[in-house]
Amino acid sequence: MRLLWLIGAVGISVAVSASAATARPGTLDPTFGEAGVATIRDPFVELVPSFIAEQPDGRPLVFGQLQFPTGRHASAAVYRLTARGRLDRSFGDGGRALLEESPGGHVAMTDGGGLAIASQLVDETTAPVGISVTWLDRDGRRLGATPARFSRGSHALSDIVALPDGGVMVATSNRPTDSRAADAGVELIRFSAARSVDAAFGLGGRVLVKPPYAFGEPKLAVAPGGALLLASHEPNIEEGGGNIVLGRVTPTGSQDLTYGSAGTTVIPQAPRQFQQLNDFEADARGRAVVLVSRLSADAGFSWSVARLDEAGGLVRDAHGASGLVFDLALESDGDAIATGMRDGSDSASTVFRQLGTGRADGTFGRSGAAERRFRSEPFPFALAVQRDGRIIQGVALRGRGAQPDPFVVLRFWGGHDTRPPLVRLRRGCGGRVRTVRVRISDRSRIAAIDARAGGRALRARAQKRLTLRIRRGRRLRLTVYDRSGNRTTRRLALRPCSAQRSSRSRSTTASERLPLRSVAMRMRK
């Protein structure tokens, strides 16, 4: 029975590995949920996902606002799924963590897989008086909340991002209610990893960045080294929307005037066209990638991806497709992934992939877009790229029944695995020459192989399987570099190869103290 179970487990593992190796990017991952779609139903409320991310162990977290079927607002919640797309009952209370306050949908994943959730504090007249950051650990347990009161002005909570040191940064748009125009701008409030306002940042943990960043909903992205990229609107009173303005803030909170032109870069709005900032990210080199929606009377809704260089210069603003988009994620090589809906396709959620060159990736889905149709109307608001390269999408469904509608999480094959390659080594002998057989998980990801033994470099071609012949040295050091910049290093002690043993069988006695499972008892006749 145990043998049959082992054979079945090995067969399943081989089948999953084979499907991962042959899967076409943009197709649903059949190992997740039901044929790539995980459906989560709650008997009392329904969730509108606005944030999705992967914990370090590969389990997705989904955050969103809860609503009753009648439309009355309830609160917010976080759900956790297993790596296979099932509701993880070990998280929070039976798979979800409820939040009584109304965070407003601004969430960041902290170091270790916890969450920092920013909410707006209001008084009896519902006027904003401050913000609060609620902290959850990786298993959905509440760690506390940190409030921060506003001094003056009418602040609007706009974004939160996680910082490399474990803290978070919150952005609010400050629009003074009186004649104090000097207070207009974006106020940045920094919270340390100890879950308190970082008094060492700016003035008591706050920095005011001057206009033109005071309008719209300013968004943040973290560049390498801890610098912050900031994007917002410069309003167009006549046509709505407006120019999109970007800048950079140093880790100490001062505006970087070397960025763009005197500290700002502008993505202009075309005449007779409405332009909106949807989302933006910073790639591994600190370059801004901006997701922009546009509306014109002639062409309807469309979207584009604008890319800047490290100095803030606008490199390109590449048209994507017709339709609506909501969220942006970047893959390891800088390709842009967007979630939304095609124009004229109200029953299908879509994931788009645009290459760094500005062209649609023809190898992804169908002409750069992967669709999934539903019987209910989908709202694909959330998107993330996992470390193994697969893409997860959070979609709210809206039907016409009285019962709460479920939300779904889809997982697509992406083809950009960002994990270090898996390397297996096996010692052997070729006569008196020591050999090491090397097997690497994915040949397409290998950029170079560096093998050294006895202070000498060995000839090792960048291929999935190879055999190293080692004549000198007692230890082997093998380093595999992949195309995403990751590397895997393995060290192996080398044993001398003695002469070939006699093929004559011998009896084995218990006095040799060998493990019982490794002893092959052979009786001499």
DSSP class of 100: S
Checking if the pLDDT of 2 tops 80, the result is: no
Task: Choose the weakest-confidence range: 30-34, 210-214, 236-240.
Answer: 236-240
pLDDT of residue 11: 43
pLDDT of residue 74: 55
pLDDT of residue 81: 96
For residue 448, count other CB atoms closer than 10 A to its CB: 13
pLDDT of residue 353: 95
Checking if the pLDDT of 426 tops 70, the result is: yes
Higher-confidence position of 13 and 375: 375
DSSP E strand boundaries for 26-140: 37-40, 46-54, 60-67, 73-80, 96-99, 106-109, 115-122, 128-136
pLDDT of residue 117: 93
Query: With bands split at pLDDT 50, 70 and 90, how would you rate the model's confidence at 500?
Result: very low
DSSP string covering 9-54: HHHHHHHHHHHHHHPPTTSB-TTTTBTTEEEE--SS-EEEEEEEEE
Q: Tell me the pLDDT tens digit for each residue of 248-263.
A: 999 988 889 999 998 8
d(CA 177, CA 151) in angstroms, rounded, equals 12
Task: Choose the weakest-confidence range: 125-139, 157-171, 269-283, 396-410.
Answer: 396-410
Checking if the pLDDT of 280 tops 80, the result is: yes
Q: Which helix (H) or strand (E) holds 5?
A: helix 2-22
> Residue 144 in contact with residue 132, Cβ under 8 Å?
no
Q: Tell me the pLDDT tens digit for each residue of 152-211.
A: 666 788 899 999 888 999 998 876 555 455 567 888 999 999 999 999 998 889 888 876
Q: Per DSSP, what are the bridge partners of residue 47? A: 66
pLDDT of residue 121: 84
Q: Tell me the pLDDT tens digit for each residue of 312-336.
A: 999 999 998 889 999 999 998 889 9
Question: Mean pLDDT throughout 131-139?
Answer: 93
pLDDT of residue 487: 72
Checking if the pLDDT of 7 tops 50, the result is: no
> How many residues are listed for the chain in this entry?
525
Read off the pTM: 0.76
d(CA 62, CA 407) in angstroms, rounded, equals 10
Checking if the pLDDT of 150 tops 80, the result is: no
Question: Percent of the chain having pLDDT more than 70?
Answer: 79
Checking if the pLDDT of 214 tops 60, the result is: no
Distances (CA, A) of 392 to 2, 37, 70, 97, 362: 36, 10, 29, 20, 20
Task: Choose the weakest-confidence range: 8-12, 149-153, 313-317, 443-447.
Answer: 8-12
Cβ neighbours of residue 135 under 8 Å, at least 6 residues apart?
110, 114, 115, 116, 117, 142, 143, 144, 145, 146, 195
pLDDT of residue 296: 85
Cβ neighbours of residue 341 under 8 Å, at least 6 residues apart?
323, 324, 348, 349, 350, 378, 380
pLDDT of residue 469: 84
pLDDT of residue 514: 33
Distances (CA, A) of 181 to 176, 186, 209, 264: 7, 13, 13, 20
Among candidate residues 42, 52, 33, 37, the one with its CA nearest the CA of residue 406 = 42
pLDDT of residue 222: 94
Average pLDDT, the chain: 80
Checking if the pLDDT of 404 tops 80, the result is: no
pLDDT of residue 240: 60
Higher-confidence position of 219 and 121: 219
CA dihedral 134, 140, 142, 146 (to 10 degrees): -20
DSSP string covering 351-367: EEEE-TTSSB-TTTBBT
Question: Mean pLDDT throughout 131-157?
Answer: 86
d(CA 254, CA 202) in angstroms, rounded, equals 8
**Two tokens, residue 166:** 């474990």
Checking if the pLDDT of 512 tops 50, the result is: no
Checking if the pLDDT of 306 tops 90, the result is: yes
pLDDT of residue 109: 95
User: Residue by residue, what is the 3-state secondary structure of 185-218?
Assistant: EEEEEEECCCCCECCCCCECCEEEECCCCCEEEE
Higher-confidence position of 12 and 102: 102
pLDDT of residue 452: 86
Which of the listed ranges 116-130, 448-462, 504-518 does the model predict with the highest average pLDDT? 116-130
pLDDT of residue 253: 86
